[in-house]
Amino acid sequence: MDVLTNDPLYTYLLLPLLIFIARICDVTFGTIRIILVSKGVKSIAPFLGFAEVFIWILAISQIMANLNNWICYIAYASGFATGNYVGMILEEKLAMGTLILRIMIPNSAEELVKDLNNNSFGTTNVHADGSLGRVDLVYTIVNRKDLAKVEAIIKGYNPNAFYTIEEVKKVNKGIFPKKEGTGQLLDRWRLGR
């Protein structure tokens, strides 16, 4: 092992590369863990936390063993920054969670409500007065993975529609598109019947 640690190729290329990769992994795990904790997913978060800290200890121990190697510092910081980015991209791809959309439509939103309902998205329509006159407020709660489909429906109805999107921590019951391959018993449970 001493022969390897004295090799400049190991010291200035391989070791920094390993530190960089370790930081990407531990920060990605940390980012996903924080998101899972905020969404109340308790089963996976502790395992990600263990892996995150274990990898961090390995990386920081190599930094401490090579304090005179400034390339390791750059690799450590670069891995941290890249890990944040990778974690956010990965979380975006996982598309976990539930969202509430508030859509404000001038005058009547009857056609939009029908279109959303025909695509198995539950809606609540409220007639209101906006600053520019009568509006319909359409509320719908969707799984995050269905957001693009709902946005396409909204933009197909009105490309200039004003809507807001917020994360929802918990949903009790609701109307959501059926998942492929679910059984009748599971559907009744999901709908609270």
Among 94, 129, 161, the domain boundary falls at 94
The domain total for the chain is 2
Averaged over 99-124, what is the pLDDT?
91
In this structure, are 112 and 156 located in the same domain? yes
- Do 148 and 114 lie in one domain? The reply is yes
Residue 189's pLDDT band (boundaries 50, 70, 90)?
very low
Query: By residue range, what is the domain housing residue 114?
Result: 98-178+186-190
Q: Is the pTM of the predicted complex or chain greater than 0.75? A: no
- For residue range 16-60, list pLDDT tens digits in order: 999 999 999 999 999 989 888 887 778 888 999 999 999 999 999
75 and 127 together in one domain: no
User: 3 φ, ψ to 5°?
Assistant: -65, -40
In terms of domains, do 103 and 68 share one? no
- The verdict on 13 and 87 lying in the same domain is yes
Question: Given this model, what pLDDT does residue 97 score?
Answer: 80
User: Is residue 183 packed enough to be buried (19+ CB in 10 Å), middle (13-18) or exposed (0-12)?
Assistant: exposed
- Residues 170, 106, single domain; the answer is yes
Q: Which of 77, 94, 111 is the last residue of a domain?
A: 94
